[in-house]
Amino acid sequence: MSQIDELMAQLPLDQIAARLGVDPAQAEEATRTALPALLGGLHANAEDPAGAASLTGALQQHDGSLLGSDLDAVDVGEGQKIVGHIFGGQTDQVVSTLGGVSGPSGSALVQQLLPLLAPYVMAYLAKRLGAGGGLGGILGNILGGAAGGTGASATSGVLGGILGGLLGGGRRA
């Protein structure tokens, strides 16, 4: 099971579909399109040491408890803030691009979907970071013991490894 599939299994897709007013298959397809975009944005942010430090701080404010919970547990306002931090001034472009993949009225669907998914993505990443008992454990578990460095460069490497693994496992041909 890919890490995208692992994350998908912890999302309330039926509730997401109901909230968006679409059938579950369309919600799943849109979610499978949106998750890599969110993760790719986080990956791009994590490649910059300042972005990696900021993301690490943000992840410390999240835990994995949201995973598997009802959609009512999601703070959409917080989700919008997360999306804004991930994509910045490119948010509209990302929504438009993803919307083109999601069919008619796709941009409106994606615009509603991203803030619903962003808190789950942060919870998933926070859980992954916490599973190793800190950066050293994550480096050992995620990067196969190829640890090296400290501070922002190590943080960037950790987050880049996690997000790169997620993105690599989630690509569909």
Q: What is the pTM of this model?
A: 0.77
User: Is the pLDDT assigned to residue 153 strictly greater than 80?
Assistant: no
User: Is the pLDDT assigned to residue 93 strictly greater than 90?
Assistant: no
What digits encode the pLDDT tens for the residues 20-66?
A: 999 999 999 999 989 888 887 887 777 777 877 788 888 888 888 99
Q: How far is CA 81 from CA 118, 131, 158, in A?
A: 9, 25, 23
User: Is the pLDDT assigned to residue 94 strictly greater than 80?
Assistant: yes
What pLDDT sits at residue 67?
A: 93
